[in-house]
Amino acid sequence: MSSRPCHWHEEPDGIRHLIPGCAALAEHRIADLHQQLDDVRRRHHRFQRWHDCVMDALRAHPDGAATYRTAQMEFRR
């Protein structure tokens, strides 16, 4: 990764080009963001599986519907 700052180069016809320095840094940050997104997706998937197991347990329990309603009321406070 380059530690040079970005700078603009202007051609005689007025076209400007951003010269890398920060471009390498941007690619590094994009890679970090992709990694963070993958981590969040994995955590969300694990949470979804846990939620499904809890809901299945509530449905199977004789007092599950009442427990669910109580939890909803507590959550809305």
Domain boundaries, the chain: 7-76
Non-local CB neighbours of 18 within 8 Å, separated by 6+ positions: 6, 7, 8
d(CA 22, CA 67) in angstroms, rounded, equals 54
For the chain, give the mean pLDDT: 87
C-alpha closest to that of 69 among 60, 58, 57: 58
pTM of the model: 0.56
Greater confidence (56 vs 31) lies with 56
List the beta bridge partners of residue 9.
Answer: 17
d(CA 60, CA 5) in angstroms, rounded, equals 61
Look at residue 54 and tell me whether its pLDDT is greater than 50.
yes
